[in-house]
Structure formats: C-alpha cells, structure tokens
C-alpha cells in the first residue's frame, strides 16, 4: 500500500484520506475504484486485516493505472489491462487464496486465475458489452503481466 501511495504521489495524483470510503455493500464486492471518487471498501465483506490490505492494494493499483496510464473507461482493452495488473500484483491469485476458492492445482495456476478474474471483472463493464472478454484479455495479457510498476522485482518476492 505504501509503495502504491508513493507511486500515486510521484505521478501527480496524491491520495488522501478523502479518497477512501467504507460502505456496507449489498453484493459480494470487497472493494471498488471509482475514478471520480477513489477507493470504496465494502466493510461488511472483509474477513480480516490481511483481506483489507489485499483489497486496498488491488484498488490502489487501479488508481495508479488511471493516474499513470490515463485509462480510457470506454476502452475494454484498457480495462482488461488494469484488471490483469490488479489481479497479478495484489495477491488476488496467490496459492492459498485460490485454494480457498476451491481452485486446486499448481502449474499455470497464476495465469489461469489472473485471466479468469480479469475476464470476470470486465464482463460486468458496459464498455465491454458484446465483446469476447476472453479474447480481449488474451490480446493484452503479456504486456500487462510484465508491467509491474510501481513495484520492482524485490517488492514482489
């Protein structure tokens, strides 16, 4: 979280307390990034402190991408890249989390999880209506996975 907050500040998008909100959500959504407001955390969906940190990391990756890459919310490819990065870099797809979702396996598990979560996230977005979301994810997957900014390799170990 600290690295992302610094990255946002360094790119001219400082995040302050006003950019964070807690809300009771009616759906099983733990968090969201709204470009005009900031990060919203579903307080009734959080299981523990570790889950909160993972949700904040995921949503701050979106904030960082919107700041740095100027995400076009009407471009499904931009949205797919943002979701791939967030799933990959936030810990959404770590081994224990996937096993908790009853997705068992070892080989290729990260890739399957990232692709699945990105496709699911963009499938609910009006910008992607009528598009084959798996094909959109495929088209930006490699470039999105290699972009680990603002982290460096040591941060991800």
Q: Which residues are catalytic?
A: 59
* Entry field: residues in the chain: 157
CB 13 within 8 A of CB 63: yes
Direct distance between the N- and C-terminal alpha carbons of the chain, in angstroms, rounded to an integer: 15
Q: Which tokens in the block code for residue 76?
A: 């499904």
CB 58 within 8 A of CB 46: no
């Amino acid at each position: 979280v600290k690295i992302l907050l610094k990255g946002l500040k360094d790119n001219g998008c400082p995040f302050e307390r006003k950019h964070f909100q807690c809300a009771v959500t009616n759906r099983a959504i733990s968090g969201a990034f709204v470009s005009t407001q900031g990060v919203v955390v579903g307080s009734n969906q959080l299981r523990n402190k570790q889950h909160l940190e993972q949700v904040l990391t995921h949503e701050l990756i979106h904030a960082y991408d919107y700041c740095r890459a100027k995400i076009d919310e009407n471009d499904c490819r931009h949205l797919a890249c943002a979701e791939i990065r967030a799933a990959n870099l936030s810990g959404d797809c770590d081994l224990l989390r996937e096993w908790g979702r009853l997705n068992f396996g070892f080989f290729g598990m990260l890739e399957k999880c990232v692709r699945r979560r990105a496709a699911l996230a963009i499938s609910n977005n009006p910008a992607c209506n009528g598009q084959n979301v798996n094909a959109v994810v495929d088209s930006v997957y490699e470039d999105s996975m290699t972009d680990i900014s603002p982290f460096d390799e040591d941060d991800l170990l």
